[in-house]
């Protein structure tokens, strides 16, 4: 088994983010274990689960990334990485920018700037489990839907 240190965790996470930006599904799959899963949380929406090899109640990673890539050019930046080699975990806090592709049904919204926190658990040098939390803090104002906070009262 490969001994992981902070730099190796960061390298693995960067390979994942680079593959997403390059729209390279085989490279994404290469950083995950065959039974890896990805869970996405967004605001008050229901959680969504994806799998490299989907199980009951999960969607395919290919469907998830395919949807994103059909609609947006993706860029990730402003990373902060946190690693805990003893527990086999790492995380990334970063800013995704989604630029609508020509003809995208979401083009009228323009460029979206999100705020993400991804948490990764490793098995050896591969990602076994990922939790993605994301927020789109500007979209509500663009749509005129921010008359009151939904989850956290002021």
How do residues 29-47 score in pLDDT, each as one tens digit? 999 999 999 999 877 678 8
Residue indicated by tokens 């799959």: 29
Residue 96's DSSP bridge partners are: 76
Question: For the chain, how many structural domains are there in total?
Answer: 1
For residue 141, tell me if it sits in a domain: no
126 has a pLDDT exceeding 90: yes
Q: What confidence score (pLDDT) does residue 142 get?
A: 62
Could you report the per-residue pLDDT of 140-151, keeping only the tens digit for each?
Answer: 556 666 655 555
Q: Report the relative pairing of strands 89-100 and 72-84 from DSSP bridges.
A: antiparallel
Range of the domain at 132: 6-136
Domain membership flag for residue 63: yes
- pLDDT score of 111 more than 50: yes
Q: Is residue 45 part of a domain?
A: yes
> Averaged over 9-32, what is the pLDDT?
96
Residue 92 lies in a domain: yes
CA dist 31 → 17, 79, 105, 136 (Å): 10, 19, 31, 27
In a domain, 106, yes or no: yes
pLDDT at residue 154 above 60? no
- Whether 144 is covered by a domain: the verdict is no
The better pLDDT of the pair 5, 90 is held by 90
Length of the chain: 154
pLDDT tens string 79-95: 999 999 899 999 999 99
Q: How far is CA 67 from the centre of its chain?
A: 13
Whichever domain contains 105, its CATH number is 3.10.450.50
Q: Residue 108 domain-assigned? A: yes
Mean pLDDT of 14-23: 97
Percent of the chain past pLDDT 90, that is, above it, reads 60
Please check whether residue 152 lies inside any domain of the structure.
no
Q: What is the pTM of this model?
A: 0.86
């Amino acid at each position: 088994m490969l001994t992981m240190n902070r730099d190796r965790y960061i390298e693995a996470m960067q390979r994942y983010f680079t593959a997403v930006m390059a729209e390279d599904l085989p490279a994404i799959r290469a950083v995950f274990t065959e039974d890896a899963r990805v869970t996405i949380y967004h605001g008050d929406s229901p959680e969504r689960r994806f799998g490299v090899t989907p199980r009951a109640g999960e969607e395919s990673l290919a469907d998830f990334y395919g949807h994103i890539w059909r609609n947006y050019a993706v860029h990730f930046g402003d990373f902060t990485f946190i690693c805990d080699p003893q527990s086999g975990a790492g995380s990334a806090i970063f800013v995704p920018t989604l630029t609508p592709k020509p003809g995208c049904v979401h083009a009228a919204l323009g460029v979206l700037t999100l705020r993400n926190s991804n948490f990764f658990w490793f098995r050896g040098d591969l990602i076994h489990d990922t939790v993605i939390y994301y927020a789109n803090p500007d979209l509500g104002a663009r749509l005129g839907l921010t008359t009151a906070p939904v989850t956290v009262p002021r």
